[in-house]
Amino acid sequence: MIYTVTFNPSVDYVMKIEALELGSLNRTSDTAKYAGGKGINVSRILSALDVPSTALGFAGGFMGEFIKDTLNTQGIQSDFIEVDGDTRINVKLKTGEETEINAAGPAITDANISRLEAQLIDLSPEDHVVFAGSVPSGYDHLYETLAKLLHDRNIEFTIDAEGAKLTSTLQYGPYLIKPNQFELEGITGRSLSTTSEMVEAARSLLDRGAKNILLTLGKDGALFISRDYEYFVPSPKGTLKNSVGAGDSTVAGFISRKGSSIREQLKYAIACGSATAFSDDLATREDIEVLLDKIEVQSIEEVK
């Protein structure tokens, strides 16, 4: 079973407005509410591909109930830990361009963390855990702690996080990490402008323990680096409508075909990420399948 962990989920309230006028009354042309959060996004894309998963994390109040009910309606299992505060609401304003207003989440306690650790301890080596997003305030080393917990039990994990939250887990051999170019530059402390420079920087993370690295480059596609393979995957052509969840969709696509060839995993990764970018919400199975035949996996040597 795949388990996704979202420490700070949200109800994403999308509001379409023709033109936003600050200090005036504005009326929406359309609204929608979604269960949000990076790990939850991964579970939603996996569900679209008929790959079961269980969403873990913290939820509270009537917004927390909304998330659990929404996932249940979509056939996605969840086992959230109840917290005292209310799950946050994030507002996404669409006015021709995207503006996000993200709220702070509820306070998380040591008791909440202990319950999550107990859930992970019960997993088996046949399971796979996906960590994605921020950690609760005051728990900066939480990813490192949980990565060690899984490593000691021979449970594979994927992590999509920034900076030290990511690098602290490398010693425990994450199955997949997915930095973008800006994040990789932050990790290595230098500007990366050419394919060769980015590949070299990614290889340094292999030396630190990562098993597979998917370096996303936005509209330019992605680079894949492992001990055995190095590929470039251009993005298919399309109109960008939604950047929220595209990276999470990319992770889900790659994980969804775990056990297949790396080329197959990469095709699904880029198809899922691009399909979400071209959609108003996360991609549907139909959106993804339309793009699959348009994805070309190339040897990095072809583009250097």
Q: Which residues have a catalytic role annotated? A: 248
| Strands 212-216, 222-226: pairing kind | antiparallel
CA distance 76 to 288: 19
Helix runs in 93-155, H state only: 110-121, 142-151
CA distance 182 to 216: 10
- The residue length of the chain stands at 304
Phi/psi at 101 (5° precision):
-125, 100
> Where on the phi/psi map is residue 182: left (φ > 0), alpha (ψ -120 to 50), or beta?
alpha
Q: What amino acid is encoded at 262 in this protein?
A: I
Letter string b/e over residues 180-192, b meaning 16 or more CB atoms within 10 A of that residue's CB: bbebbbbbbeeeb
Nearest to 217 by CA among 281, 264, 270: 270
Q: Which tokens go with 101?
A: 């207003």
Q: Which tokens go with 42?
A: 């991964």
